Chain A
């Protein structure tokens, strides 16, 4: 993962992952003035919000950011189904969400369907469980996934277990969404990748899009799913990823997307590192190595079919994630590949096992890069 204006992100800007037929691009304008250091996460000292102005009602445009694609999905599902509702701290029109994802929705749908709540993560997720039991389809915003451990009790003990322990008679359709991962100078409190905490809790689904197209389609699928879905929004890509989306396309939960085809090496990743993997694949291609890049999109349940089909062909697989290595999603995927395809050579790239650091100098070293993937791939392929 690269810093803004770094060579890596410049390269990622040109990355073509047209497997969906859409061209997505990363912009490298200096949005850190808006989002860095939590500046956008609350009103500043002058009482002004630090986000760019947003339209009250978002309209479909040929090309939109990942953030706007999520907002459009929320808006269209709320318009379609009166049982869909939003709740969270600061999501109303005073602030519109700390990253502006819910901006304007309260004006359209009223103060109860877009409900500003006190900053109570446990009560929010628990309330969503109760609302789901009353037939609603609530969507909870956590201002940052760093708050997720606070709400984990309700996710683990209430949301995840209810269908199973009710003998299948109850279901808890709800979405917990919010910014996830780093890359925006958020330091140890605004950069958490929580996915490994979640994948060990049976009964939760977990998704993380890397493109606006998928962000829209996965959000629609998550809202319509009859289970609790944790929707991880890559904060690094909120306004950096822009592409043409389709409001007709539902991206099914549980299906990965092959972003680039190749027969020599498989790179499995998700979220912002997808762009780094495509960059690494370009560099490997120059050395005659054809790389298949799989964007998982859904982390639970992971699409092992697509993974195993690819690895059966390439026999070499690199699993990369922004999250730290030990006990991460990569470890689980590696173990499954090793059981099913014992001849495959497997390597992992991830952050070191430590909290996410604040200083940009430390952050740059903490995040994985295309170069990390490249070096790992060469070792793996012994070239």
Chain B
């Protein structure tokens, strides 16, 4: 399955995050179908290997700019199910007090996550800015930004890649190519063989990766990060994947049943499970332990969120403006090379 294997501890952590992402996603879909208010939730089911794998390749000091289906990336980066669920349920949570849904899950002091928006392509210019900010601060941070295949059609993406390329910024873009921009299949908006071919026009490297193979995604992203960190400018990765709902009737009519069946066989969690089982890293008992732990975590997140009050109505426009004594943004300034190579405290 892979030329190079990752250490077993990494593989198990990837398994944990894929499973957590899948179970959280399924639970939100179920709650919504039961009539619970879920704000701004976009299921990333079937695409977890791309979301989790690329973010897993980051160093602790790197910056993540996720897109709307990248809950897996946020979890890898240290977002907790409590934080996410409280946002989805519109509660008076610490993150936004109900003002935004999970599209605001940001932290630009510690975990270095740029909050995304509901506007396709809008986040990439901001990611160029975090990469440029890192350059001005003389820090070897790389910014990893996710895009959808529909998003690459947006003008802001062209401007952002133009600028990032011209300035040789440390920016890695992962296109999560799931075949459809809304209801439009990719071949209807792009005549290029691969979306990664666009890299050629910007004079930057591009690569295509099996987006449902989490180990391949980690390895491709590491290569891209290494190139960007070495000062060779931005890097475009196209990860081929598909959004597969838990049940067939949840898929929209415009998606062919053959495609669904094909991609269901490519399920990233099942592929990783088979791989780990074949390596005898994972057995049924251990898998059950993981699931039990994750279910407890999600029960806790839901109970925590439901116990939070709903936010009080807002009427004060001064909430739109930061006060004069607002704390400075950004991580603490560090010297060149001071980024620790150790992984963060994320535990599987």
Contact = CB atoms under 8 A, between A and B. Distances in A.
Interface of A: 85, 87, 112-113, 115, 117-118, 120-136, 138, 153-154, 157-158, 160-173, 202-203, 205, 225-227
What are the 10 closest A-B residue pairs judged by CB atoms, nearest first? Answer: A130-B129, A126-B125, A135-B330, A134-B133, A171-B322, A127-B129, A123-B159, A120-B159, A226-B322, A165-B100
A123 B329 contact: no
Contacts of B260: none
B89 interface: no
Contacts, number: 166
B310 to A, nearest CB: 15
A120 B104 contact: no
B162 A202 contact: no
B220 interface: no
Given A130-B131, A165-B99, A202-B317, 8 more contacts: A124-B125, A134-B331, A135-B333, A153-B119, A154-B126, A170-B106, A172-B322, A226-B323
A165 B104 contact: yes
A326 B187 CA distance: 44
A119 to B, nearest CB: 9
A265 to B, nearest CB: 31
Interface of B: 94-97, 99-100, 104, 106, 108, 114-115, 117, 119, 122, 124-137, 143, 155-156, 159-160, 162-163, 166-167, 317, 319-324, 326, 328-331, 333
Contact of B156 (A85, A117, A122, A173): A122
Choose among A113, A161, A164, A203 the residue with the greatest number of B CB atoms under 10 Å from its CB: A164
A134 B125 contact: no
B125 A127 contact: yes
B126 A130 contact: yes
Contacts of A202: 317, 320
B129 A133 contact: yes
B330 A133 contact: yes
Given A120-B162, A134-B137, A135-B329, A126 B96 contact: no
Nearest to B108: A133
Contact of B163 (A123, A225, A226): A123
A288 B80 CA distance: 71
B177 to A, nearest CB: 23
Given A125-B125, A158-B117, A158-B126, A167 B329 contact: no
B320 A134 contact: no
B320 A129 contact: no
Contacts of B133: 130-131, 133-136
A111 to B, nearest CB: 10
Contact of A168 (B131, B166, B322, B331): B322
B156 A112 contact: no
B321 A166 contact: no
Given A118-B166, A136-B136, A167-B96, A127 B326 contact: no
Contacts of A173: 322, 329
A166 B106 contact: yes
B134 A134 contact: yes
Nearest to B330: A135
B319 A164 contact: yes
A135 B109 CA distance: 9
B329 A130 contact: no
Contacts of A118: 159, 162-163, 166
A133 B125 contact: no
A154 B329 contact: no
A110 to B, nearest CB: 10
B201 to A, nearest CB: 14
13 contacts: A117-B163, A118-B163, A122-B155, A131-B130, A131-B132, A132-B329, A134-B133, A134-B136, A167-B95, A169-B95, A171-B326, A171-B329, A226-B324
A188 B197 CA distance: 38
A129 B326 contact: no
Contact of A226 (B127, B135, B155, B326): B326
A154 B127 CA distance: 12
Contacts of B130: 130-131, 133-134
Contact of A122 (B97, B125, B127, B320): B125
Contacts of B326: 171, 226
Given A126-B126, A158-B122, A167-B97, A134 B329 contact: yes
A126 B127 CA distance: 8
Nearest to A125: B125
A131 B136 contact: yes
B92 to A, nearest CB: 9
B106 A136 contact: no
A172 B135 CA distance: 18
Given A130-B128, A136-B133, A226-B323, A153 B115 contact: no
Contact of B117 (A136, A138, A157): A157
A146 B324 CA distance: 30
B333 A130 contact: no
Contacts of B163: 117-118, 120, 123-124, 127
Nearest to B65: A130
Contacts of A166: 95-96, 100, 104, 106, 115
Nearest to B138: A112
A162 B115 contact: yes
Contacts of A169: 95
B74 to A, nearest CB: 15
A115 B169 CA distance: 13
Choose among B156, B159, B167, B333 the residue with the greatest number of A CB atoms under 10 Å from its CB: B159
B139 to A, nearest CB: 9
Nearest to A154: B125
Nearest to A135: B330
Nearest to B311: A167
B99 A170 contact: no
B319 A168 contact: yes
